[in-house]
Amino acid sequence: MVETERKLFREYELRLLRCSLPSDTRPSHYLPPSSPSSNKFDPFIDAVIRSIESGQYREVLSSDASRAVFKFADSVDANQFYAEVERSVESFLTCTGDDDALPKVILVVSIAIAALLAFVQCNMTGPIIELPPVPLHWEAIEGGVEWEAWAKHQLMSVGSELLGKFTNLQYIVFAKLLLMKTKDMLFGGITVDGVQSISWWLVRVLLLQQRMLSEHCSSLYDLLQVFKAESLLHFENLEKVASYWNDMVDEEEGLAIVSMLHLEAGLMEHAFGHVDSARKHFESAELAAGLKLSVTGVLGFRTIHQVEPKAQMMLVANRRSSNSFVASSLVSTSPQKEASSVQENLHENVHETSGTSDVLMTPRFLEDIGNNVHGMSVIQNGHAGSATLKAIQQAVVLAQCVIIEKSAVQEELQRWDIAPYIEAIDSQQSSSFAIRSFCDILRIRWESTRSRTKERSLLMMDKLVQGLFETYPEVIQRIRSCFGLYIPMVPALRKEYGELLVSHGLIGEAVKIFEELELWDNLIYCYRLLEKKAAAVELIKTQLCEMPNDPRLWCSLGDVTSNDACYQKALEVSNNRSARAKRSLARSAYNRGDYESSRILWESAMALNSLYPDGWFALGAAALKARDIEKALDGFTRAVQLDPENGEAWNNIACLHMIKKKSKEAVIAFKEALKFKRNSWQLWENYSHVATDVGNFAQAVDAIQMVHHSDSQASFEDAAAKTRETEHLMEVLGKILQQIVRSNTGADIWGLYARWHKIKGDLTMCSEALLKQVRSYQGSDLWKDADRFKKYACASLELCKVYTEISSSTGSSRVLQAAEMHLHNAVKQADIFSNTEEYKALQVCLDDVRMRRQANSVRTT
């Protein structure tokens, strides 16, 4: 292929990508698109891309270019239509030689992107418009509702229900089919030099599909991983971007492309709950955008009526300048020019509170400059002194909020951690529509939890939802940056609005929203709040008369009536593909004690959707009750793979390893479990046993101390509980010591074991343990080592004291005889140590034993 033509087609690819990038990333030396080449498809491609660049997506799908690709008669139903679409793509891409292959691929991809962006307009960014029911507008169809239902089932075939009622589902199905078919053709035989960005567009399509679903889908995740890896292979750094598009991009735009790709990759990982992977991609995006973000503390004012400044969090951006980073705050640092009071300065900007709260939208910070009121100056947010960020940098700032939302443990602290990032964007002079919308959503979520700003959050949400239907700004302005932000889909946003209305007590308004979105579970919840359960049942039955093949409705009816027959019907109408119905039947079987049936149903449900968060744990529990140890272990293991912080699952894994006599594996699992359940004395007790089994006695002792500590905190005022605690602790200690003496025959261990038996009142076992301790000290070196002799003497004295106690309680003279013989031999052989205190103590003890024997003899006679 001629180099100029190859460059032209790469330029087409870049123009398509630019439609979704921030407008301020376009290079300053940007030239109008090159003139089309002599290839017959170039006029089609150029016209299609110009329409996409102007936001005219529906015109693309009814254009001559689309008619050139899709040539088939009217279809009877959706199955036939999409079979014809797939056949047309394959025929179009393969019917001519290699010279036409690349422009044909570009044309098909462009049509797919137009369909995708049309769907995004109607289901994410707005302005929401009415589109023809089928992407190819000249195609006459009958029964549009049935076609939309077919598209819904296609999207739900991965094993999860839709989040709510979406519009124009045909468009995303159409876009996905075109991109996947083209990708398969490129992999299977068509040879072209370029179109590497198709993997990136596939990531966008598949991630949108995942975000439309109510649960994670493993098959989508696998595909996303493949296409994400391919995208990063081609565009993960500036060198690769510059190598692919050469002089068509400058450094600034190249870095923006890299940053956007990493943002989208991070959002993909975030969507599946992978916080660490998402954080790595966001860090790469931050670096590519030329930022280093940090939070610092500054004195300031958060309310209008606040008199004394308080510590506030402020976001600071270290921005790249040449090869170094220069720090600047993301709020203004310009002081007031007049020495007015702090109160007056705050009241000058009452509009910053949106009129419904005395809490400022962004706090006012103070800076010590030595020549203003009380030696301080008010720092105005949003004025010329604040650091200005480009759109891609603002997107990077908001991405940090996504990470904080997932990783923060306590919700109240989490919201305040997000605050400086939200306020930094609010202080910007200008932001794109998508960035402003996402920032407002984050603020609404934060302020809805605070009583002083709750009303403002509701008004902001109402305005945000109404903005979806307004004609300004235009769609092309709304689309920019939207893929690099976790903006909720329209049904998800309206659902959030409904839940916010419920929290304000406006249940009637929420009911209208939930009914319109077909969110039956939320609707049932509202009717229960209104004590109208019968109305909920009647509503679902009415909907079933209109949509008898909707498995969601049958499952919702089963939930509200607790009738397993409804779940069975849901399986029937879904061709056994409703994972929710199988999970509900599995729970029902478990509750009535049919654990084997529950296990089978959970296995079947997880085969449909292996990423359901609680499913693997439930499968493990059912298998454990059914006495299937291997299946239970597999279930709990899969549970911790999805959620490494599931302490209960780690505990169950450890206990199962204990049952299987695999102490090393049990120790590892218990360590993980104890990270999340440190106050469970049962866990510490089990851990002490397995630590002993593997010979880690120090950890075993630490575990015993933790058992004691946990019990003490639970019952420190209960004397009876204290007694039970001591008894339990002694039992645990005895079990550990018994395990230790089986593997370790050291003298100290025998001494501890003897003391335990003595505390328990078993003097016979105590004497046997002490005798073994004494024998452990014996040997040829005993009479040459003074320290060893002292230990031997102390153990001998303890042994003989126990013998004496046994004799006193039982009247046995045999134990006294044994004590006398032992002491006599010890004294006889220890002449070399006759000057020591231990030797003298042995002699005293020997005399005492002899006197006791004589006294016993007198009593006997």
Residue 703 to residue 670: CA distance in whole angstroms: 11
Residue 439 lies in a domain: no
Q: What is the pLDDT of residue 412?
A: 59
> Residue 710 pLDDT more than 80?
no
Among 205, 237, 264, the domain boundary falls at 264
Distances in whole angstroms, Cα of residue 853 to Cα of each of 41, 460, 861:
118, 97, 12
292, amino acid identity: K
Supply the range of the domain harboring residue 705: 692-860
Q: Long-range contacts for 770-777 (Cβ within 8 Å, ≥24 apart)? A: 770/795, 770/798, 770/799, 770/802, 771/799, 772/745, 773/747, 773/799, 774/799, 774/822, 776/745, 776/746, 776/747, 776/750, 777/747
Residue 757 lies in a domain: yes
Q: pLDDT class for 536, splitting at 50, 70, 90?
A: confident
Among 264, 288, 303, the domain boundary falls at 264
Q: What is the pLDDT of residue 13?
A: 95
Q: What is the DSSP letter of 124?
A: I
Instruction: Convert the pLDDT of each residue in 495-504 to its tens digit.
Output: 999 999 999 9
Q: What percent of the chain has pLDDT over 90?
A: 48
Average pLDDT on 83-100 reads 84
Cα–chain center distance at 244 = 34
Residue 556 lies in a domain: no
Cα–chain center distance at 246 = 38
Tell me the torsion sign for CA atoms 792, 797, 803, 809: negative
Structure tokens at 532: 């109208």
Cα–chain center distance at 634 = 21
Overall residue count recorded for the chain in this entry: 861
> Residue 229 pLDDT more than 70?
yes
Q: What is the pLDDT of residue 566?
A: 95
Q: What is the pLDDT of residue 368?
A: 39
> Residue 717 pLDDT more than 50?
no
> Residue 456 pLDDT more than 50?
yes
Instruction: Convert the pLDDT of each residue in 627-647 to its tens digit.
Output: 999 999 999 999 999 888 888
Domain CATH number, residue 773: 1.25.40
Average pLDDT on 131-148 reads 78
Residue 712 lies in a domain: yes
Q: What is the pLDDT of residue 380?
A: 38
> Residue 423 pLDDT more than 90?
yes
> Residue 353 pLDDT more than 90?
no
Q: What is the pLDDT of residue 848?
A: 87
> Residue 720 pLDDT more than 60?
no
Average pLDDT on 734-747 reads 72
Q: What percent of the chain has pLDDT over 70?
A: 85
Q: What is the pLDDT of residue 613?
A: 74
Instruction: Convert the pLDDT of each residue in 15-55 to its tens digit.
Output: 999 999 998 776 555 445 555 556 788 899 999 999 999 99
Residue 645 lies in a domain: no
Residue 235 to residue 237: CA distance in whole angstroms: 6
Residue 446 to residue 415: CA distance in whole angstroms: 5
Among 200, 234, 264, the domain boundary falls at 264
Average pLDDT on 80-88 reads 92
* Nearest in space to 39 (alpha carbons), one of 94, 86, 83, 105: 105
For helices 507-516 and 490-503, give the axis angle rounded to 10 degrees: 160
> Residue 493 pLDDT more than 90?
yes
> Residue 569 pLDDT more than 60?
yes
* Nearest in space to 497 (alpha carbons), one of 538, 468, 475: 468
Q: pLDDT class for 226, splitting at 50, 70, 90?
A: very high
Instruction: Convert the pLDDT of each residue in 255-298 to its tens digit.
Output: 999 999 999 999 999 999 899 999 999 999 999 999 999 999 98
> Residue 81 pLDDT more than 70?
yes
Q: pLDDT class for 788, splitting at 50, 70, 90?
A: confident
Average pLDDT on 703-716 reads 61
Q: pLDDT class for 709, splitting at 50, 70, 90?
A: low
* Higher-scoring residue by pLDDT: 379, 531: 531
> Residue 433 pLDDT more than 80?
yes
Residue 388 lies in a domain: no
The 310-321 sheet, strands edge to edge: 324-329, 310-321, 291-303, 359-367, 377-379
Mean pLDDT, rounded, of the chain: 84
Tell me the torsion sign for CA atoms 200, 204, 205, 210: positive
Instruction: Convert the pLDDT of each residue in 595-613 to its tens digit.
Output: 999 999 999 999 988 888 7
Average pLDDT on 203-230 reads 95
Q: Long-range contacts for 613-616 (Cβ within 8 Å, ≥24 apart)? A: 613/216, 613/273, 613/642, 613/643, 615/583, 616/642, 616/649
Structure tokens at 224: 């996303």
> Residue 343 pLDDT more than 50?
no
Counted domains in the chain? 2
Q: Which residues contact 221 (CB under 8 A, 6 or more apart)?
A: 210, 272, 611
Average pLDDT on 784-789 reads 85
Average pLDDT on 392-412 reads 82
pTM exceeds 0.85, yes or no: no
Residue 338 to residue 176: CA distance in whole angstroms: 60
Residue 234 to residue 254: CA distance in whole angstroms: 12
Residue 545 lies in a domain: no
Residue 383 lies in a domain: no
Q: pLDDT class for 158, splitting at 50, 70, 90?
A: confident
